[in-house]
């Protein structure tokens, strides 16, 4: 049986421990940089997966991030950011990690071989959901079993793995192959494989946000402003998109209870939060077309008054 790439010995690993630390450091950085390019070859399935995730959010389904070990940490890191960054409701995000999320520095390794818990863990999984399953090897029993359950229940499966032809990718609707080279420390997939996984996960969630209309001109227009830094950022976004001053932006955000998209429309001239929300409903939550409609309406009104 061929050794999976993620378990092979890196050509530069021989004698690694005898080299100066500066040489080892350079090799580590180079290997990470090379791994970081792997998602460029998976843009197609990443885009398709992002669309599936957006469809799940619109349908009030659940995004289920699932993995074991270091892949589980990569998946959890992305899932935990979705609320604050894009205001995805907490009840639409679920993290499934073999053995549960660690609460200490100890992370057991044997749990990735156990799949008997998944029947209970995924009992509420439905066809509206999307499973984002991550495994460097693509053969982790816990992750593969979850993909089978999701397929049986009609859910979309996004599989992220670093070995071509692996079982997880074969079970996936959207197979994201990240062909990273062998690790400089053989089998330590928290390194290159993990770097590529994190980038692919970042791409998936960010592209999903683009599909949902939560990003405009590179700004997070659906962020949850629950601290001073984010409240200042929200104020700045309103100013940037409408040209009002910070005091007017603060007033608009206050009127809308911090709803950033509605605040932009209020600052741009919509009379109330309710009217702003109605305009956004007409554009499926996308702010740019809502602003364009408001601009056309204002122009038509001005033209009518001029006549």
pLDDT, one tens digit per residue, over 164-203 is 999 999 999 999 999 999 998 988 888 999 999 999 999 9
Residue 250, Cα to own-chain centre: how many angstroms? 29
How far is the C-alpha of 178 from the C-alpha of 168, rounded, in Å? 13
Are 87 and 71 spatial neighbours (Cβ–Cβ below 8 Å)?
no
User: CB under 8 Å to 93, separation ≥6 — which residues?
Assistant: 62, 63, 65, 79, 82, 83
Number of domains in the chain: 2
With 0-12 / 13-18 / 19 or more C-beta atoms within 10 angstroms meaning exposed / middle / buried, residue 71 is buried
Residue 306: per-residue pLDDT: 52
226/84 same-domain check: no
113/22 same-domain check: yes
What percent of the chain lies above the pLDDT cut of 90? 78
Q: How do residues 117-128 score in pLDDT, each as one tens digit?
A: 899 999 999 999
Asked if pLDDT for residue 303 goes beyond 80, the answer is: no
Task: Look up residue 16 and give its DSSP letter.
Answer: G
Q: How do residues 234-256 score in pLDDT, each as one tens digit?
A: 999 999 999 999 999 999 999 99
Q: Which domain covers residue 176, as residue numbers?
A: 5-212
Asked if pLDDT for residue 307 goes beyond 60, the answer is: no
Tokens of 57: 């959010």
Q: What pTM does this model have?
A: 0.91
Residues involved in catalysis? 81, 112
151/196 same-domain check: yes
Report in angstroms the alpha-carbon separations of 145 from 102, 155, 258, 291. 21, 14, 42, 46
CATH number of 275's domain: 1.10.8.1080
Q: 116: pLDDT confidence band, cut at 50, 70 and 90?
A: confident
């Amino acid at each position: 049986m061929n050794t999976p790439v993620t378990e092979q010995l890196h050509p530069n690993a021989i004698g690694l421990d005898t080299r100066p630390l500066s040489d080892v450091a350079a090799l580590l950085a180079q290997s990470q940089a090379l791994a970081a390019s792997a998602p460029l070859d998976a843009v197609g399935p990443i885009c398709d997966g992002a669309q599936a995730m957006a469809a799940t959010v619109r349908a009030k389904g659940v995004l289920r991030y699932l993995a074991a070990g270091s892949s589980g940490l990569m998946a959890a890191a992305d899932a935990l950011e979705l609320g604050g960054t894009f205001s995805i409701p907490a009840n639409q995000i679920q993290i499934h990690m073999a053995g549960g999320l660690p609460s200490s520095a100890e992370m057991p390794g044997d749990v990735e071989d156990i799949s008997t818990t998944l029947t209970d863990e995924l009992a509420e999984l439905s066809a509206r959901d999307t499973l984002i399953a991550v495994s460097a090897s693509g053969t982790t029993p816990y992750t593969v079993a979850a993909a089978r359950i999701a397929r049986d229940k009609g859910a979309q499966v996004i599989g992220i793995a670093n070995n071509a032809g692996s079982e997880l990718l074969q079970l996936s609707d959207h197979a994201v192959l990240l062909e990273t080279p062998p690790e400089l420390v053989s089998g330590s997939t928290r390194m290159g494989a993990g770097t590529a996984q994190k980038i692919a996960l970042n791409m998936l969630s960010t592209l999903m946000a683009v599909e949902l209309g939560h990003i405009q001109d590179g700004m997070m227009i659906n962020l949850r402003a629950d601290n001073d830094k984010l409240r200042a950022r929200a104020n700045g976004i309103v100013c940037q998109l409408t040209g009002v001053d910070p005091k007017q932006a603060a007033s608009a955000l206050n009127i809308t209870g911090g709803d950033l998209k509605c605040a932009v429309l209020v600052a741009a001239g919509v009379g109330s939060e309710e009217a702003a929300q109605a305009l956004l409903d007409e554009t499926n939550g996308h702010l740019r077309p809502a602003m364009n409609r408001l601009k056309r309406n204002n122009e038509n009104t001005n033209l009518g008054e001029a006549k």
